[in-house]
Structure 1
Amino acid sequence: MTAIPQERRVVTAIPGPKSVELQARRLAAVAAGVGSTLPVFTARAGGGIIEDVDGNRLIDFGSGIAVTSVGASAEAVVRRASAQLANFTHTCFMVTPYEGYVEVCEQLAELTPGDHAKKSALFNSGAEAVENAVKIARAYTKRTAVVVFNHGYHGRTNLTMGMTAKNMPYKQGFGPFAPEVYRVPVAYGYRWPTGAENAGAEASAQAIDEITKQIGAENVAAIIIEPVLGEGGFIEPAKGFLPAIAQFAKDNGIVFVADEIQSGFCRTGQWFACEDEGIVPDLITTAKGIAGGLPLSAVTGRAEIMDAAHAGGLGGTYGGNPVACAGALGAIETMRELDLNGKAKRIEEVMKDRLAQMQAKLPNGDIIGDIRGRGAMIAIELVKSGTKDPNPEAAGALAKACHAEGVMVLTCGTYGNVLRFLPPLVIGEDLLNEGLDVIEQAFGTL
């Protein structure tokens, strides 16, 4: 495995001629519904760099949407997955099991919040994990209703599309959706009508009132929330909101599910984002950062809840694939050895300081309405100057300017006006600052 030089290099237009050629092939062969943020075709990636087929090296502020937290070619992931590949690629855990699956479940029991007895089931994608969490909660409670929140994102299957808040591009034209899914307010501090300081108490009271009056707490199987809402705009629910909702669930026999698919595995500077306010969820869903880029997801939770589904009721042909399990064990090894929680906290310090400076000193810095997030899950919400009106045009223009200069950034948010930053946790501080320099320069193009 050749180490990729950890330096930005732009030697062609972005995308370059080889990427343009591959894009033409892609348009002829790949369904149009599968989009790409930037049609630059990757040749190699590692550390904080993506190298394309034209030899350009981009600073990676996306991590494949929070997946390659340990880097895109982490030594322990490659070593363990390669060894597993040489032994066997698949047997199906439901046919003849293997140790790697069990070991991943043991690690999840150890790492997730709470000291109660825990069990896990492994799947392929985040949406699969969420869908199975609902199945497990329904089996345990013998209830049907599922409560989700404004600005939440949970996946692209029929059930999880119904649970996802944002219509375009996730839901438009794909209905009807699964029934018995109900949406309630979340404490979005920046946009809460009476101010961020009131959002936690007021939003939780409003959400609980709607659940009680419009659904009936006795009908709710599960309340599912991202402790930091990802696609909805990296929204940290205002303090007090999550504890109030979790307590309401506990008081009413409702399974409280933390969707940690984007925020888990050191991304926020803790193993799981729900730890920030001491939340111990009944079930926790994980994917993305769990396996260093290999497809794996999990539902982990209280043993008595996890065991509620009948034998054969959970599973799937590829769920807990042995190569993906080996990758997960390598990723967890890397997170521990390199203290990636500590590295995430340092990334937060650097990014928030630099972004605050931009907000203060740039002539157009007031379009940065909010700087938020934790660890290496940081975002800026862009607004029209002097207002809180969403400014998706600025978000798109900034992303385009960054891409042209060799920095991979992503947008998100219900209003499309949030620039989000998800660098690999192993990124060097020099690269991190260089990427921020490019972002600062990009403001000059607006």
Structure 2
Amino acid sequence: MLEQFKQHLRDRFPLVAKKRLLIAVSGGIDSVVLCHLCKEAKIPFVMAHCNFHLRGEDSNEDQAFVEALAQTLGVNVLVQSFDTEQYASEQKVSIQIAARDLRYDWFASLIRKEGYDYLLTAHHLDDSIETFLINFSRGTGITGLLGIPEQNDYILRPLLPFTREEIATYAAEHKITWREDYTNAQTKYLRNKFRKQIVPLLKEINPQFTRCFSDTISNLTDTALLANDASTLEYNKVVTKQGDGSLVFAIDKLNKLSEPKAYLYQWLQPYGFTAWDDIVHLLEAESGKIVYSKKYVLLKDRQVLILQPKSIEEENKEQIYYLAKGQNLEEPLKLAIIAHEDGEMKVDSTTILVDEDRLTFPLIVRKHRSGDKFVPFGMKGTKKVSKYFKDEKFNQFEKENTWLLCSGDEIVWVIGSRMDERFKIRSTTKNIIKIQITV
């Protein structure tokens, strides 16, 4: 198996030995064998172990075993402890989902902050079979029928060509010890049901099931590549990327495609969306309808769908910024008070000229509140900011991302859109200042 493993690395990951690598190590047979194989193949790595504190003293013994293994192999080990039950309760997710999220969030932070290039996990062919069957039983698209990919971004899975039996044989031949997780034998977990009950039955029906499965995955992968090429071609016709990073899907162009739902599934799946019925209904929904994934928001705005990351600001927490005279504002947007030059009267969406004597410093920058009113430039009466947004056809994202410049309780400028009539320059104005959005 060692020679096959080294050849597989040369074929699929030829540069991996020159990269900074993490190996996710639970202490189970698969990850322990992966560490031994990499050590024998002279591939440098650091071990990363998560203690989820879910199995009492067993969890601590797993950690101690991994730390001892690292010492035996002469490599470094990183350990992170989690209060998994508390996280699951706070996030209202299952223990399994909580552990997965905590694990991969930590791995991602190590890659991002500590300069590692790749994370190696010990998923093997039998894991891929189980994933295929689970997805198939739940209903899925072609991507869900490809099993476990050998690479997702920074995650590499070098054991995917090998079976659980081959890994166990290697461990026995080399007298490798590991930690046994008793929960792997419990069929109350869906994956374990497939592992203990369904897969053995399929192998009994067809002793060549594993080989046939590999052939099927290869064929489906080829089909998926063809479908992806066609999808990319249509994507470039339907979707445009805005300056703020949001993606805009033209519904009229989407509806001209043979299967709009299939294309949306392909395009939105990477952003974590799973409520497909809700997404399809967005095409006919009223403007303003929103569907959420964990990290993204999809908005129906008239004849388009707009995809944006969720705001990182705390919900329901108002943020207020102050702009003092003679100073510039750096966040949440760059705003400057600039000396006015005689005769200069040019204004646009990024610049206003204001009667300085009508201002009370420091000026305030905040989001709009319920009941906010101002006098739009060129008008006589007041208008609610919410009504102004509606009349100007602001979509939900634009409403949420628009800031107001205020003098005391009065709105001076709906920044980037319209200033207030009350602060304009008049024939009696003595002092003028220019306020400008800067890059």
Q: TM-score, normalised by structure 2?
A: 0.29
Q: TM-score, normalised by structure 1?
A: 0.28
Higher Cα radius of gyration: 2
Higher relative contact order (CA 8 A, sep 6+): 1
